[in-house]
Chains A and B, each alone.
Chain A
Amino acid sequence: MLWVDKYRPKTLDKIIVHEDVAQNLKKLVTEQDCPHLLFYGPSGSGKKTLIMALLRQMFGPGAEKVKVENKTWKVDAGTRTIDLELTTLSSTHHVELNPSDAGFQDRYIVQEIIKEMAKNRPIDTKGKKGFKVLVLNEVDKLSREAQHSLRRTMEKYSASCRLILCCNSSSKVTEAVRSRCLNVRINAPTEGQIVKVLEFVGKKEGLQLPSGFAARIAEKSNRSLRRAILSLETCRVQQYPFSNNQAIPPMDWEEYIFEIASDIMKEQSPKRLFQVRGKVYELLINCIPPEIILKRLLFELLKKLDAELKHEVCHWAAYYEHRMRLGQKAIFHIEAFVAKFMSIYKGFLIATFG
């Protein structure tokens, strides 16, 4: 088991990074009632860990017994019936699923599953906690329709069902849904916090961390705890008695984007753009989200750029990312950005060096 999973805190008490949030949640839950919750924050900040710990707090260890189900729903949508298949994790107390996997039919999933949960409401002998929890991942990827339908069902079945929503950005969640939830912002851990966690892991594993080494990993981790711990383990595997100047292996896709960026800087021509297109396709093929590609590319380009151009380039990156999110074919827009950059940069080169 990787350290990421091995040292994942199981209870709210053990949580290191977001201690205050954890304590607040604990208070919230111990008062028997729980509103709908919306966790949002960047990936690798510990949302899921918090949610799991919260569930454990609410239901005890029973919430950790999970089975995987591949459920099929038959949804009656007006004239036709739609078959939907989705993988769910469920314990006796909660159901966890990723509704955006259903694509554009996610709306039916949300409605159906909440109705279903409301139907077989758990009857506790002591008459308490008569609700189930539905954990929805990646709510920001839900279509607008699904979010709208969520709005009504959330209210209607609130007696029997609590929702815990989890997403990266709350801006993609409609106002209506947000206002029905208690929003919990999970920040990306600061580098100091990451260092703390790394040292904790190191202690548990019985490792000798040279001073500053954890800080270096934290610095490289992009403030993602997952990445930091993984990097630590990678370093451990590569060379154990850590040396102070040990190389921390980079992410491969970031290296690749670095290559692309230097390609762009070297030559600005349609031909080069064509090569860049091939490389961007490579990244896209390997499931790297286009937004991340564009951001990283901008980051790499900015590092090499003169200050006076940075502003303009950032503007165009934002412009094209906006269009990319509106559109469908990410490659068009990434490429358009690269072309724009090339054009700007070439114009700049010509202007300065003649």
Chain B
Amino acid sequence: MDMEMDIPLPEELEWLEANSHLHDDYDDFELPEPYPEEEEEPEPESHHHQQQPKEPPPKPTLSIPPITIPITDQPLSSKIKINGKKRFRSDSTDSLNCDNVAPSEDKRSRIDSPESEIDEDWLRFSPPPKEVTNVEDSVVFQERIVSRFASEIDGDCIPVTGPGGERVYAKISRVDREDRLKKLDLNLHKIGLISEPINVLMQRVEHDAFMKALQASAEGQNDVILPEAPVMNEKLWVDKYAPNSFMELLSDEHTNREVLLWLKQWDSCVFGSEIRSTTDDVLSALRRHSSVAQHQKLSDRSFLGKNRESRLNKATSSAHNDSDPENNNSKGNQELWNKKSNDSGPPERKILLLCGPPGLGKTTLAHVAARHCGYRVVEINASDDRSSSTIEARILDVVQMNSVMADSKPKCLVIDEIDGALGDGKGAVEVILKMLSSERKSDTGKGNAAKEEQQGKMSSKKRRKYASLSRPVICICNDLYAPALRPLRQVAKVHVFVQPTVTRVVNRLKYICNKEGLKTSSIALTALAQYTECDIRSCLNTLQFLNKKKEVLNVLEISSQVVGRKDTSKSVFDIWKEIFLKRKVKRERKSGTSCSSMSNEFEFLNSLISNRGDYDLILDGIHENILQLHYHDPVMQKTVKCLHSLGVSDLIHQYIMRTQQMSLLVYQPATAIAIRSLVAQVEKPTIEWPKSFQRYRTMVMEKTDILRSWHNKISPYISRHLSTKSFVEDSVSPLLHILSPPTLRPVAMHLLSEKQKNDLAQLVNTMVSYCITYKNIKSDPLPSTPRHEAVLDASVLSFDPPVGDFINFKGYTSGHFVLSLAVKQVLVHEVEKQKILQGSLNRSVLPPDVCNKGNQDLTREDGRRTKSSTSDRASASAESVGNVKTPSNLRSCISNTSIVSLASGSNGSATSSVKIRCPGDAKKPSSGSSSFFDRFKKQSSKGSLNTDNAIQRPATSERDSRPLLFKFNEGFTNAVKRPVRIREFLL
């Protein structure tokens, strides 16, 4: 914050010059902190210098007096009173308006009230009438002073920022304070969240108490620990000084606002429609991020809140200047947003995922923000049982208790450390995802109409029916990329915590040290904060520890002192960045020689990488990204070295895995560091997740599976000679050539010449023996095929074990001929036919006793197949006689069969009837060939071919003046009955 403030904008400076008395404001916020005397002097002055390089403060003396006021035990109200009085005296400015802002009100109405009163541009287009009435009841008994300038306000004032970034200062009433204090408890949620009659409220209070008791018995530690008066010395400082209100949060302002905005979006869904209109404005205000003017509640005892708030004034006042030009823009936005929020349910992303390194205040933010928005926080953390069964019950409890909990504070679920335990953490994630997905289903089903009636019976019924999320859920994790969170990451709104600035942390530390009476210097604190990477928890713990030991924080020896180095792992991305990014080392200056800086760097990286572990992944990432870096390498020697080191690491890894000598893993980080020393650059690298190796692995698995299953399908006589290696090495390319001969013409079967028919038979035979067929695949054609299949529709016939994919390299066009669709369809038919033929042959041959009467058997088998013609049968039966002779030589026998049968088919017109059908089908491919083939398979296996009957009939009638008759009883065991002549058996 302070850093931002330090650069005054030109407009702001002008404004400052015009209203020089504003310094009092600055001084006010700096002064009340009772720093130890020796530190106190340089601080404000340096601020002055930084803030106002041009113009020294005109009345520096004024800034000093308030120091004398002791803070610790003084109630805030009186303090403010004093301050206000003093300022009143010193400033003696004119006060303009005579209204009174109610600072105790909920933020929503607080922001609204100036909106409704002040006539500003940004308000004009949407003066929400409801909101005015809402506000008025609070206005009745409270007067307000609102002014553009703090200096114009008589007494203490609070800055208020409107949605448009407009800043005004509202006077804090001194007169009503006691009243309001009393009223506060009663009004707190009445005004802000629910406006209901008092009897309801009373009931609710009772109920609340009851529920609290229940809660306490059920889930002891879940309730937020509210920091109590700082009396007990034993309490951890971390808890003692935990932020109590939104304004006290140390974490990044932007994140805070985002979280708040997200929570606010739930309002209309959770709290009902009464306050929706106001919510909209607040939301739009938040949305624009122009500023946040969250005012301290009266209940805030902490001085720091006040302190920081006024610091915020400064920031927001500068922001105010910026945001003016945005106003026009934002008008549209706001309108849009208003429209959108009319039917607004919960926000689109129902889960908030906060992630960041430990100690930055994620949990605190979640708690504070939720409480700020009027929720009761229910926390589930790693110490709870998080198996999915128990957690489901609890989440449902929290999230769906609509009817029962209707008159108490709604709950907000905070799942802490969701990434923690892998197996268990997944339970929570699963439950949440399940709820979300069911919600989505219901939403799409019901449509928007149902949504608008958010509070209607319909929707509430709906909500109960589907286990849906109706309360905000905040998940907190350290590692965003933990595998357990992968699904959640996609559906949740993710916020990554960034470190607060060191100055902010230091200020807070200073304040706490002062309170605790620990003597520190700001330099030491800064060093501490830097050392812990702004982990305020660790800082506080350290300080408390030192305090106990009565030691003083030593600047130079922080690392050697008690401060525990965080043993956390950074995310892999950070590590890669660290490896590839060369820093302009600041430490170098301090430590002097470059040698020590080198060793420092080594130490740092070494600990970084070994803390993370997972060297495999880290090295994969290096491998993936290293070639994308821009390092100077004329003869590629660096690249060679890098790849060499990667190779070494691979060897080490393999050796370790094989011999299980895990202790050798310590040498793995060294490879990464060696690579860093070669390629690290100052410019920021774009780092990608190492996908290619994973992709390679999965693809290889996939392909070997394809090969293996195909291998198993092929009859062992062939497959035993083929290994996967020899297949891809020697066989694929020729096989593909053989399978798609360019000489095969897509014409009707009977038009083929003798030779062509032989070829076709051979091809079909090959396909059958290699278990290859064509299959419909609904996808765009393979890149290598399009030229031959310009005609194709959405569906393409491609090889069933996708043999073609094995030569389908990226960026490579193979010279393979691709058969036309018609030919493929012919082939499919033939292959099917051949398979059936073989199947029947096998069946008739395999049982040895049947073998003797194979002839009869075969005829019966064939008889079942209506399409088989006499000549076909004759050839088959002739072959089966051969089978009886040499049953062991089945394979070659079958091949002969097919050849003979097909060859003989060319002679007799009868078999051609079978084949005529194929081109006939080829003519109507658009009728959904897949369904056709399915039908074909099914029916041919059953032995009846209804569809083909019509085409077949003329041919058969030619042959035999009597047509075949058969009856098809679907669903009966005797599905097909047909009369058979004795002549057919005898033939």
Interface residues of A (CB under 8 A from B): 1-2, 4-6, 8, 43-44, 48-49, 52, 61-62, 64-68, 70, 87, 89, 96, 98, 137-138, 224, 226-227, 230-231, 233-234, 237-240, 249-253, 255-256, 259, 268-271, 273-274, 277-279, 281-289, 292, 320, 323, 326-329, 331-333, 335-336, 339-340, 342-343, 346-347, 350
Name the distance in Å between B783's Cβ and chain A's nearest Cβ: 12
Contact A343 B721 (CB under 8 A): no
In the complex, A6→B717 CA distance in Å?
10
Interface of chain A, helix or strand or loop or mixed?
helix
CB-defined contacts of B629 to chain A, threshold 8 Å: 270
Q: A327-B651, A332-B646 are in contact. Are A252 and B733 (CB under 8 A)?
A: yes
Identify the closest chain A residue to B898 (Cβ).
A1
Q: Tell me the minimal C-beta distance from A300 to chain B in angstroms.
A: 15
B737 contacts A332, C-beta separation under 8 Å: no
Check if B693 is an interface residue, CB within 8 A of chain A: yes
The answer to whether B810 touches A336, judged by C-beta atoms less than 8 angstroms apart, is: no
* Minimum C-beta distance from A343 to chain B (A): 4
What B residues does A68 contact at CB under 8 A?
A: 712, 716
Return the contact of A230 from the options B650, B738, B808 (Cβ within 8 A).
Answer: B738
Asked if A43 contacts B725 (CB within 8 A), the reply is: yes
The size class of the interface chain B forms with chain A is 35 or more
CB–CB B810/A346 < 8 A: no
**B224-232, B540-548, B697-705: which one contacts chain A?**
B697-705
Interface assignment of B743: CB less than 8 Å from any CB of chain A: yes
Q: For the complex, is B60 an interface residue (Cβ under 8 Å from A)?
A: no
In chain B, residues 132-160, which have Cβ atoms closer than 8 Å to a Cβ of chain A? none
Total A-B Cβ pairs within 8 A: 215
A224-B730, A226-B730, A270-B627 are contacts. A2–B738 as well, Cβ < 8 Å?
yes
- The 0/1 profile, CB within 8 Å of A marked 1, for residues 749-783 of chain B is 00000000001000001100110000000000000
A selection of 28 A-B contacts at a CB cut-off of 8 Å is: A2-B738, A43-B726, A44-B726, A44-B730, A49-B721, A68-B716, A230-B731, A233-B734, A249-B733, A251-B732, A252-B814, A259-B812, A274-B627, A274-B628, A277-B627, A277-B692, A281-B692, A283-B809, A285-B700, A286-B808, A287-B707, A288-B729, A320-B647, A333-B650, A343-B636, A343-B639, A346-B635, A346-B636
CB closest chain-A residue, reference B890 = A65
How far, in whole Å, are A160 and B1 apart by their CA atoms in the complex?
Answer: 86
A87-B712, A346-B635 are contacts. A286–B807 as well, Cβ < 8 Å? yes
Q: Which 8 A-B pairs have the closest CB atoms?
A: A230-B734, A252-B807, A336-B643, A237-B741, A274-B627, A234-B737, A327-B650, A343-B636
CB-nearest residue of chain B to A8: B721
| B718 touches A (CB below 8 Å) | yes
In chain B, positions 608-648 with a C-beta closer than 8 Å to chain A are: 623, 626-629, 633-637, 639-640, 643-644, 646-647
Bound-complex Cα distance A231 to B895 (A):
22
Closest to B648 in A: A323
The yes or no answer to B888 lying at the interface (CB within 8 A) is yes
In the bound assembly, the distance between CA atoms of A267 and B28 in angstroms comes to 68
Contact in complex: A273, B647 (CB < 8 Å)? no
- The distance from the CB of A296 to the nearest CB of chain B, in whole angstroms, is 10
Contacts of A259 in B (CB 8 A): 811-812
A274 and B733 CA atoms in complex are apart in Å by 27
In the bound complex, residues from chain A placing their C-beta under 8 Å from that of B811 are 259, 279, 282
Are A282 and B716 in contact, with the CB atoms below 8 A?
A: no
Check A64–B712 contact: CB distance below 8 A. no
* Interface set of B (CB-CB < 8 Å, partner A): 623, 626-629, 633-637, 639-640, 643-644, 646-647, 650-651, 653-655, 657, 692-693, 695-696, 699-700, 703-704, 707, 712, 716-718, 720-721, 723-726, 728-735, 737-738, 741-743, 759, 765-766, 769-770, 805-812, 814-817, 888-889, 891, 895
Asked if A253 meets B692 with Cβ closer than 8 Å, knowing A44-B730, A268-B636, the reply is no
Q: Which residues of A contact B766 (CB under 8 A)?
A: 1-2
Are A347 and B807 touching (Cβ within 8 A)? Answer: no
Considering the complex, give the chain B residue whose CB is closest to the CB of A350: B635
CB distance from A293 to the nearest CB of B (A): 11
Residues of B within 8 A of A289 (CB): 725, 729
Distance of A253 from chain B, by nearest CB (Å):
7
Are the C-beta atoms of B735 and A2 separated by less than 8 Å? yes
Q: In the assembly, what is the distance between CA of A123 and CA of B724, in Å?
A: 36
Q: Is the CB of A249 within 8 A of B636?
A: no
Contact of B640 among A96, A281, A332, A340 (CB under 8 A): A340
Q: Which residues of A contact B807 (CB under 8 A)?
A: 252-253, 286
A43–B636 touching, CB < 8 Å: no
Most buried by A among B724, B725, B735: B725
Contact assessment for B627 and A286 in the assembled complex, using a CB-CB cutoff below 8 Å: no
Q: In the bound complex, do residue A328 and residue B653 qualify as a contact, i.e. CB atoms below 8 Å apart?
A: yes
